[in-house]
Amino acid sequence: MNEDVFNMEVRKFLKKVGVTSQREIEKAVREAVQSGKLTGNEKLKARMKLEVEGIDLELVIEDDIALS
């Protein structure tokens, strides 16, 4: 295994996950505030599940996202 290639590939994947996730969360929250479903003062519970085939990795990360 080439550690440098592996490290760069993991970083590339995580960057894609981070950027895409942030965009989708922001879009959904804005739409929920505009529609009145949210007031904009909530704390939202967020959960991300990471699975990697071939190594039987399953990881769940949970945290709160405060809107103000």
pLDDT by residue (tens digit) across 21-35?
999 999 999 999 999
Residue 59: domain span: 3-66
The tally of domains found in the chain comes to: 1
Mean pLDDT of 37-56: 97
Buried b (16+ CB within 10 A) or exposed e, 4-18: eeeeeeeeeeeeeee
Q: What is the pTM of this model?
A: 0.89
DSSP-derived secondary structure for 1-65: --HHHHHHHHHHHHHHHHHHHHHHHHHHHHHHHHHTS--S--EEEEEEEEEETTTTEEEEEEEEE
Mean pLDDT confidence for 31-58:
97
CA-CA distance, 3 to 9, in Å (whole number)?
10
